[in-house]
Amino acid sequence: MRKTRHFNQRMSQRAIREFIVEVACLHGKRDFRNRIILSRKEIDAQLARLNKRKTALLEARKKGGVVVVEQCGSLITTYGIE
């Protein structure tokens, strides 16, 4: 998305880095005034999801990876790769 000079100036003045803006655009909620709002509540929810995902990935890593067998839309079996 194109950034205006005004946007770049405000980003600089308020010490808001570009990657923070990207995160806000990805996870924020759009309101009726075309604002994208990434609230503290949504940040906490995203962090909780991230922690759960990290835990799941670490558990899968302990198993050497995980295989899931699927056929015709049904999950048939799963096992660790070890």
Spatial CB neighbours of 82, under 8 Å, sequence gap ≥ 6: 63, 64
- Give the pLDDT of residue 41: 96
63: nearest Cα among 49, 81, 78: 81
pTM of the model: 0.76
Q: What is the pLDDT of residues 6-53, one digit of tens each?
A: 999 999 999 999 999 999 999 999 999 999 999 999 999 999 999 999
67 vs 60: CA distance, rounded Å: 10
2 vs 25: CA distance, rounded Å: 13
Q: What is the distance, to the nearest Å, from the Cα of residue 72 to the centroid of all Cα atoms in its chain?
A: 30
> Where on the phi/psi map is residue 35: left (φ > 0), alpha (ψ -120 to 50), or beta?
beta
